[in-house]
Chain A
Amino acid sequence: MTFTTHFSHCSTSCNDNSKLFSSSSRSSPAIHYRFSGSRRLCRYRINSANGNPLKALPSLPISESAADYDYDDNVETGDSHSTLSITVVGASGDLAKKKIFPALFALYYEDWLPQNFRVFGYARTKMTDEELRNMISRTLTCRVDKREDCEQKMNNFLGRCFYQAGQYSSEEHFAELDTKLKEKEGGKSSNRLFYLSIPPNIFVDVVRCASLRASSATGWTRVIVEKPFGRDSESSAELTKCLKQYLTEEQIFRIDHYLGKELVENLSVLRFSNRVFEPLWSRDYIRNVQLIFSEDFGTEGRGGYFDNYGIIRDIMQNHLLQILTLFAMETPVSLDAEDIRNEKVKVLRSMKTLQLEDVTLGQYKGFSKGGKLYPGYTDDPTVPKDSITPTFAAAALFINNARWDGVPFLMKAGKALHTKRAEIRVQFRHVPGNLYKRNFGTDLDKATNELVLRVQPDEAIYLKINNKVPGLGMRLDRSDLNLLYKARYNSREIPDAYERLLLDAIEGERRLFIRSDELDAAWALFSPMLKELEEKRIVPELYPYGSRGPVGAHYLAAKHDVRWGDLSGDDS
């Protein structure tokens, strides 16, 4: 209740702020253009089919040129007029250490960051700049070892990192941060990015303080928010409403790091730039689609957060559903963020709300193998002994539109399974009137084509085709038409999802971030079922740690005439 008054209390100033933001973001178009414009061109540089760069576009900046502005004094005296400050709120947290700082460094190393950038850590812990740098430096790597100048680049990067201690709900402390930011910005036009790497219950406080006290006066201010975005329709809507008191839609960057994965990015390229795929992309040819996520470890003593959410909220409602919408959406008008997100929302809104009978739940139990005991979920000291939170779930979803009517989209996500992977499997229908029918046995569906996009690990695309086994006679088997990224793109490591997403946020590219209406639509699909689960206290099927998950998933699939592609024997 204090919350509400709190909101109304600051709603007036918040309006002022939003005016300020929008006007200021327009006040420096030239600068913005200079920076992001040139980068954008670089990022969108493409090769023609034969691998030759096309004529008119500028080429990538060579990383050596970074030396020109490596040093702080250069920054101060440089002729650039705009600065970028990235503030990681919750700098001492795990995500910050493991993902955000390393991603920022990688961007810096690869020369993607603008010339005048600084990184600020903000957290409650007292720490000096030096201590922060120390902490960060432990997790920085140059991805590929022994890359040129790694050490030097690291030092340069750390030289641009600063720390500010403060409470998350203290406007004063954020005002202090603002002073520090200003100092470093040196009066130049400033753009500010806040990365909220903090528990959801303090999201709104931080957003309020940051927006009121530490917004950029001359450039843009953007805020990256991590999941969870609420735990059902209501709490999510509430969160959005609160965020919107202080931020406009364009300032909110809801991150779903699965959308930053290479193969997820490639999904649209595959669909929309290959004539051989698009005609097949409908209920006429596709029998079912499977979205599979599995981890081969459990909560391992960190189940506190997880137990409150469960696997459906943690993986399905966001990551898998996002991939599903990208997979299933109609062709967007363009590749612009709004066009793509419009199409994604349409998919979500065409979907059938998930029913309880279309879901199977599981929870892993202790299992000992080879003398080693793997603890069950409720053995985790951070998890209540009587927890019925699902660590595994399978669900069947349907899109009631012209393209997908009747095609089951099966999702499966679980912890403590036998393997670790994320993949999309597209099973095609069988060949009508197949001439080779009798080479297939009784179940024609066993020998259908299947397109597999393996998101992780070992990124790959492969298409299972029926092929004649070489030799006299006529025996068929399924072979793969393969594209293994490791083999094809060996010289290049694949950037972490966070790098892509941070860079996009810096550039204002919203394509891979989740818009408020998308989020609402996503919750609307899952909320009723989640509520019912909790109200009825539905007990999950127990499965041993390290197993293939509860058998219930097979029965759910069978109900919709689907066979899980990852458990078919030939592929696991």
Chain B
Amino acid sequence: MASLSSAQYRSYSSNSFPPASSNGHRHNHRLLSFSSPIPRRSPPVVLCLQQSQGNSRPNVVLMEDGAVATPVNPAQKKEETVKKLEDGLLSSSGISTEELKEAAGFDVKENESSVSITVVGASGDLAKKKIFPALFALYYEGCLPKHFTVFGYARSKMTDAELRDMVSKTLTCRIDQRENCGEKIDQFLKRCFYHSGQYDSQEHFAALDKKLKEHEGGRESNRLFYLSIPPNIFIDAVKCASSSASAASGWTRVIVEKPFGRDSESSAALTKALKQYLTEDQIFRIDHYLGKELVENLSVLRFSNLIFEPLWSRQYIRNVQLIFSEDFGTEGRGGYFDNYGIIRDIMQNHLLQILALFAMETPVSLDAEDIRNEKVKVLRSMRTLRLEDVVIGQYKSHTRGGVTHPGYTDDKTVPKDSVTPTFAAAALFIDNPRWDGVPFLMKAGKALHSKGAEIRVQFRHVPGNLYNRNIGTDLDQATNELVIRVQPDEAIYLKINNKVPGLGMRLDRSNLNLLYSTRYSKEIPDAYERLLLDAIEGERRLFIRSDELDAAWSLFTPVLKELEEKRTIPEYYPYGSRGPVGAHYLAARYKVRWGDLGIEQ
């Protein structure tokens, strides 16, 4: 086995790292594929790691049009020069001393260290659609360490070949017709194995352990378990994995997916149970919204641009809106959803996480603990959500153009009398000096007229505006607004008041635009790629710490309980509509106007 994988490595390396002279032919390729062909003793894998690691790693900024900024430390200079040759397309990667150590570690131990990624629940939907493709994308880009294996674990009986068959159906090379795609897929699949077993069986996990050891071939072993299984078997799987299949010599980490409980108590119980078998730094609670490009960029925008930070407070910001919408309903898969509802499914995690990142104070550094400390502070400064600050809705069927879209309770997997909200709007407040009195409005819904996720920051009106009479009676209608569109069509734009060209003085709002698709030709990696890579690298910045989770639940739990106790009936809205009108009244109460439902949108 060991010899097999090193043979694989050789072929892998000769294919993906052509001699420098062929670089010229490759200059149209994507940035990250460039990061690999660097003649350097250490494996390219390490370079990718250096380059792709989170906050603390890279030291270099790519100036506009690809000019490379000055190197920071001499250790990078060699890299720098080599990369400059590459059409100036690529910035060089930078590494801090910490990473130098880490990289050196890889160098020394490259024959000994291995990573095994076990996807528990390998036959599930998430695994097929997201996890395996993300792993392959990382492999394709040369971001995975040299010795890695992927294991599928599930109850179904399956051979390795059958797993590979299943996995291969969902693998793509993102952009079609990329070089060597077929070959790369084959190589990747050869590193995929399957092990069938029960989720609560120590023996079966022990058998997995044996298999893992075989592949690790005596190298130092690092093991990552991705739990893609229903929450009721989390603990069993964690128990078995940790006691029977932990790495003997390297790290063992466990990625857990939502739901992390359904209220403060169940969440705390889950955390407590996890902690029986795992330490805090082994637990990687994933919130894939934190892996989205524009969410990552939020901190960059705030903290590396002088023009934004002074504006980032109650003094200039009138309200902040966090909006999520889907244009489809549960479509026959409402079983899980009905037990949770939109507030738990979207607001308490995804939107609240974005809010915390948006509102946090400047962290001491970009290290995971520093950032998470600041996020917890925001959550703990927040006012517990009250029932009157929430509006809930549920979609009903709607017929348009002869097509009938079913209502939520028409879904066969949903109880006929379900009052689970498929839409919710909420007003939240952060009672700290920076944000006192600024409404943070959240809105999330299924089966709406559009699909998207965005952050809208509405600024205050200009005091004593000279152009008041050009704006009409409602000054708030002509305020600046910063929009960060997380998906689809990633973009940042700032609405400004501008003179309409021409004689006379007419004002209107124009956008200062940054549309990612026009600025950046490369495609944006899926959130799961980033998060998996971070977990492999032990970068915890984008994962949710236990105390964060507690704080998040304590904001929402009382209102969730009250909703359920009172069986509050949601306001119905037609499938494909803009959601219940109640959301407007909630916003109006706090003098907010939803930015996404203006005429301009």
Contact = CB atoms under 8 A, between A and B. Distances in A.
Nearest to B366: A435
A263 to B, nearest CB: 9
A43 to B, nearest CB: 3
Interface residues of A, number: 90
Interface string A437-471: 01111110011110100000001011111111111
Contacts of A277: 496
Given A435-B365, A477-B63, A467 B54 contact: no
A275 B479 contact: yes
A475 B91 contact: yes
Nearest to A40: B504
Interface in A397-441: 428-431, 433-436, 438-441
Contact of B64 (A43, A331, A477, A481): A477
Given A274-B497, A465-B307, A492-B501, A438 B94 contact: yes
A2 interface: no
Contacts, number: 305
A569 B533 contact: no
Binding site of B, secondary structure by majority: helix, strand, loop or mixed?
loop
Interface stretch (A144-152, A494-502, A545-553): A494-502
Interface of B: 31-32, 51-55, 57-65, 67, 69-72, 91, 93-94, 96, 138, 141, 143, 293, 296-297, 299-301, 303-311, 316, 362-363, 365-366, 459-462, 464-467, 469-472, 474, 477-480, 482, 490, 492-494, 496-514, 516, 519-520, 522, 524-525, 529-530, 533, 598-600
A500 B503 contact: yes
A43 B504 contact: yes
A429 B502 contact: no
10 closest cross-chain pairs (CB), A and B: A43-B504, A441-B70, A570-B64, A481-B512, A441-B69, A472-B52, A473-B52, A46-B470, A49-B478, A477-B62
16 contacts: A46-B507, A51-B599, A52-B599, A275-B462, A276-B480, A428-B306, A429-B306, A443-B70, A461-B512, A465-B305, A466-B304, A471-B32, A472-B51, A474-B54, A482-B514, A570-B64
A451 B93 CA distance: 28
B522 A470 contact: yes
A472 B303 contact: no
A276 B55 CA distance: 28
Contact of B459 (A265, A275, A434, A485): A275
Contact of B62 (A435, A469, A481): A469
A446 B267 CA distance: 47
A119 B183 CA distance: 79
B363 A435 contact: yes
Interface string A337-371: 00000000000000000000000000000000000
Nearest to A434: B304
Nearest to B478: A49
A436 B304 contact: yes
A495 B12 CA distance: 62
Given A439-B59, A570-B65, A51 B533 contact: no
A42 interface: yes
Contacts of B460: 275
A451 B501 CA distance: 19
Contacts of B62: 469, 475-477
Interface string A46-60: 111111101000000
A274 B62 CA distance: 30
A334 B529 contact: no
A476 B71 CA distance: 14
A37 to B, nearest CB: 14
Contacts of A447: 61, 63, 69, 304
Interface in A472-526: 472-483, 485, 488-489, 492, 494-495, 499-500, 503
B601 to A, nearest CB: 10
B529 to A, nearest CB: 6
B514 A570 contact: no
Contacts of A112: 503
B500 A489 contact: yes
B490 to A, nearest CB: 7
Interface stretch (A207-215, A278-286, A388-396): A278-286
Chain A CB within 10 Å, residue with most, of B52, B58, B141, B309? B58
B533 A50 contact: no
Given A335-B467, A472-B525, A480-B514, 20 more contacts: A44-B505, A46-B470, A50-B509, A269-B498, A272-B467, A273-B462, A276-B316, A276-B480, A332-B466, A438-B72, A439-B59, A459-B501, A463-B307, A465-B492, A468-B296, A470-B520, A473-B53, A473-B57, A477-B62, A571-B64
Contact of B477 (A49, A285, A472, A500): A49
Contacts of A475: 51, 58, 60-62, 91
A226 interface: no
A110 interface: yes
A392 B171 CA distance: 61
B504 A42 contact: yes
Nearest to A47: B508
Contacts of A334: 466
A266 interface: yes
A50 B522 contact: no
Contacts of A433: 362
A448 to B, nearest CB: 6
A262 interface: yes
Contacts of B513: 481-483
A270 interface: yes
Contacts of A99: none
Contact of A435 (B303, B501, B599): B303
Contacts of B505: 43-44, 46, 265, 269
